[in-house]
A and B are shown apart, each in its own frame.
Chain A
Amino acid sequence: MGAVDIQRPLRAEAPAGKPRLSKSALAENIAGYVFISPWIIGFIIIEIGPLLAALYFSLTNYDILSETKFIGLRNYEKLLFNDPLFWLSLKVTALYSVGSVSLHIIFGVLLALMLNQNLRGMAFYRTVYYLPAVVSGVAVAYMWIWVLNKEAGILNTGLGYLGIDGPNWLFSIEWVLPAFVAISLWNLGGGMVLYLAALQGVPTQLYEAAEIDGAGWWPRTWHVTIPLISPVIFFNFIIGIIGSFQVFTAAYVITQGGPANSTLFYVLYLYRNAFENFKMGYASALAWVLFLVIMALTVLSFRVSGRWVYYEGQLR
């Protein structure tokens, strides 16, 4: 960038006044819009249109069966003041989000540090840890139901070797969310790959300099490595939060929201309102709240990120 800016003043100044499009510039403009036209159509039909339509539906009692009427903010009023399940689903999702995202970051970075060593067989190990990130969905859900089975499951068998009497994971109000967090941790490899790439981008001189200053492993990691990979940690953080607010398949297949609604994830609640009870208006209000929550979390994260995310080449 800098180099280009220096060149600029050497060129002749463009004539003042309203810039007019030359023939080739006009052609280029047309070409540009032709190339991006699929996205423009998609943006209108499957993104912004439905988003606004959902906002409109959220102000109605739309339920497919009865006549649709405009009811103002009544859906939102009900949701905020008269629907304990809404708050419960938010709580379930937030608890899961905090547990899953924080553990993903801690273990993901640790794992990447482990796998960043110069050892024989590292490529193979990385493959092994990444493997679970490739599969997902219903098949994985059934696999976990069986792994977490109280008596015949392999997890409690393993805990039994250690003398621990494992709980009935998926049917226990206290243990079911931790079980979901554990299931999500199985996918550690996805984030790990990003951390690995970031670690490989850390200049070795910095480590050498730190070592000459007498810094051991921990100070080197904490003061050199972590700040330098913080943009990737931040990226994973945002993706993780957004992802945790979209959990559906696991909750729908593994526990159907139970026991006693303790895995009533937000999107599961939304799905039930919309496609099981056909309360489309109310579900649209839920959808908009989800949208606002995700937007607020994203914007907030970017605001706060300046304080602790280090971007190389950035002036402080």
Chain B
Amino acid sequence: MSVRTMTGTTLVERRRRRPLWIVIRPIVSHAVIIAGGLIMMVPFFWMISTSLKQEWEAFQIPPQWIPSELVWSNYQRAVFDYFNFVRYGANTLTITIGVLIGRLISASMVAFGFARVRFIGRNVLFILVLSTLMIPDQVTIIPLFILFKEAGWLNTFLPLIVPAWLGGGAFFIFLLRQFIMTINPELDDAARIDGCGWFGIYTRIILPLVTPALAAVAIFSFLGTWNDFFHPLIFLRSNELFTLAIGLHFYTSAASASTRPETTVVMAGSTLIMIPPLLLFFFAQRYFIQGIVFSGIKG
């Protein structure tokens, strides 16, 4: 790229060349960034475009970018005919919120303990917290499956929700602990003088001050559970308990072609499933970036 003009030129030369480069450089940058951005958006566009086509048009060769007429009834059929969308949506939301609440409460408690309270073995235990990041869910899934089977929890939402109430995951504990550590401990002392106990400091001082971090945890948690496929696949059996992800897959991979939804309807279903995460992102972008940056950089 022409950036090389900067290399090894004398100051005089550089001053002479600068004006042209100053004009061209932003134009080149914009062009490259926009081209790349369009490529990133093509899969979304293609899915939405297909979801509004007639089935025959979806398979037309060469493919049409824009549907000749917009077939909104594909969405209607996705929601009411093929998938029990309302039911699956309610199930997904129940699990997502159950996980979210458990994670916010338990991860913030644990993080507060590690960040603020001094107790014997704190550092060793915190290293243990971090080391569990190395244990992927897939490694422990078989014993957990057997455990939940023995407990009679298979085919209920409990195996999906309860684990989040037990600490909420090392990543979230870590994120919140790092955030709590940035809050001035003199606030704790002031609260203690005013008669606050540990629990009071946690609920009245720390929790209100870490709301941005809690928002980040809530968002990541929502996305993780909403998009989860592996766990519901293993723990849920009956149709009326399916999540959106499982339901979409169950019908689309059905053996008989007569019950299988058409491609346009599958695209409509996929689009609908993606809407809540995208909406969440648009409305809570600030917390998103903050959370990611905080966990990645300050760590």
Contacts and interface: CB of A to CB of B under 8 A. Distances in A.
Q: Do A and B bind each other?
A: yes
Interface of A: 25, 28-29, 31-36, 38-43, 45-47, 49-51, 53-54, 57, 111, 114-115, 117, 119, 121, 125, 127-132, 134-140, 142-144, 146-147, 151-154, 157-158, 160, 186, 189-190, 193-194, 197-198, 201, 214-219, 232, 235-236, 242, 245-246, 248-249, 252-253, 267, 270-271, 274-275, 280, 283-284, 287-288, 290-291, 294-295, 298
Nearest to A30: B119
Given A38-B165, A142-B252, A275-B234, A46 B140 contact: yes
Contact of A146 (B60, B263, B292): B263
B101 to A, nearest CB: 13
Contacts of B46: 143, 146-147, 153-154
B140 A51 contact: yes
B297 A201 contact: yes
Interface stretch (B67-75, B122-130, B208-216): B122-130
The 3 closest A-B pairs by CB, nearest first: A42-B166, A32-B119, A35-B113
A194 B293 contact: yes
Given A36-B125, A194-B292, A253-B249, A152 B113 contact: no
The residue in B50, B61, B278 that gathers the most chain A C-beta atoms within 10 A of its C-beta is: B50
A290 B136 contact: yes
Nearest to B3: A217
A291 B135 contact: yes
A109 B80 CA distance: 45
Interface in B138-176: 138-147, 163, 165-168, 173
Contacts of B138: 246, 248, 267, 270-271, 287, 290
14 contacts: A28-B198, A31-B198, A32-B113, A42-B163, A43-B128, A146-B266, A151-B61, A197-B297, A218-B4, A232-B296, A271-B138, A274-B141, A290-B139, A294-B136
B19 interface: no
A232 B289 CA distance: 15
B37 interface: yes
B26 A280 contact: no
Binding site of A, secondary structure by majority: helix, strand, loop or mixed? helix
Contact of B33 (A31, A115, A142, A151): A115
Given A143-B267, A152-B63, A39 B167 contact: yes
A135 B167 contact: no
Nearest to A36: B113
Given A50-B143, A51-B139, A143-B270, A198 B297 contact: yes
Nearest to B167: A39
B109 A35 contact: yes
A313 B7 CA distance: 30
Contacts of A132: 40, 43-44
A191 B94 CA distance: 30
A165 to B, nearest CB: 13
Contact-residue size bin, chain B (C-beta under 8 Å from the other chain): 35 or more
Contacts of B234: 275
A28 to B, nearest CB: 6
B47 interface: yes
B267 A28 contact: no
B236 interface: no
Contact of A47 (B47, B60, B132, B292): B132
Contacts of B137: 246
Nearest to B199: A31
B134 A295 contact: yes
Contacts of A50: 139-144, 147
Given A32-B119, A131-B278, A248-B138, A136 B227 contact: yes
B106 A39 contact: yes
A28 B118 contact: yes
Nearest to A111: B36
A7 to B, nearest CB: 15
B120 interface: yes
A36 B29 contact: no
Interface string B240-278: 000001101100110000000001001101110110011
B106 A194 contact: no
A140 B32 CA distance: 26
Given A35-B117, A39-B106, A54-B142, A128 B297 contact: no
Given A117-B29, A142-B252, A280-B146, A193 B139 contact: no
A193 B293 contact: yes
Given A42-B167, A249-B230, A53 B143 contact: yes
B43 A32 contact: no
Contacts of B60: 152
Given A35-B110, A46-B163, A217 B4 contact: yes
B195 interface: no
Contacts of B293: 193-194, 197
A139 B198 contact: no
B40 A131 contact: yes
Given A50-B144, A117-B29, A35 B43 contact: no
Given A32-B122, A137-B273, A146-B50, 15 more contacts: A36-B109, A39-B129, A42-B167, A117-B29, A119-B26, A131-B278, A137-B229, A139-B273, A194-B297, A246-B136, A248-B230, A270-B138, A274-B145, A287-B141, A295-B134
A34 B167 CA distance: 12
Contact of B139 (A31, A157, A291): A291
B82 interface: no
The residue in A134, A218, A274, A280 that gathers the most chain B C-beta atoms within 10 A of its C-beta is: A134
